[in-house]
Amino acid sequence: KLGVATLKALNVPVSYRIKEIIANMERWRWMPRQLEARYIRVNVPDQSVDFVRDGKVLLHSKVVIGQMKKGDVTPILRTHVIAVVANPPWDIPDDIAARKILPHLRQNASYLVTRDMVLKDAPAADMSGKAIDWRKVKGDDLPYQIQQKPGKDNGLGRIMLDSPNAFGVYLHDTPAKFLFKLNDRERSHGCVRVQKIDDLAS
């Protein structure tokens, strides 16, 4: 069936496709000539992840990836998983906090309490930031690190694969399981939410 998306793809100019091929050849050049015996491969365009051992895919799972339209893309990177973290707290990046949390705080100083969040580096007497005049706080200059405590509503879910990288993106669980039923799963801020996170962590 010739749908809207297929027609759009067919109408992409050849000159653009040539640039795509050149870019992908460059990305391929970054890859090591030989991969490890076991590795995790995230396929961003396919919105999936594979666990590969000795050339065989032993686990395949749907994932939720970053949103291209909002600039929260899942970056191309290579990193090492150094730990499996159970019930992780989420240190919310400043850009996400400025866009998603600060507007609520300006309306309601108790917002952090209702979302099981704290100010990680605030004075002990005001961990929830109730005494702060959030209307004076600029979005690009948050004075504190906002952290969501572990729990059923935590954005990282129950499990996170810790893989330090310059982008601050990780493979993790999510409380929003309904997202895995969607065909287009570009819904994260860059991290990769894994449907079969328990199996992958195992």
Separation CA 182–CA 78 (nearest Å): 27
**Nearest C-alpha neighbor of 104 from the set 129, 133, 134:** 134
80 is catalytic: no
Task: Give just the sign of the alpha carbon dihedral 155, 80, 95, 134.
Answer: positive
Radius of gyration for the chain, computed over Cα atoms and rounded to the nearest angstrom: 20
Question: Choosing from 80, 104, 172, 189, which is the catalytic residue?
Answer: 172
Contact between 173 and 179 under an 8 Å Cβ cutoff? The reply is no
Separation CA 19–CA 168 (nearest Å): 28
Contact between 175 and 115 under an 8 Å Cβ cutoff? The reply is no
Residue keyed to tokens 């059923």: 152
> 3-class SS at 41?
strand
Separation CA 108–CA 48 (nearest Å): 38
60 is catalytic: no
- Catalytic residues, which ones? 172, 191
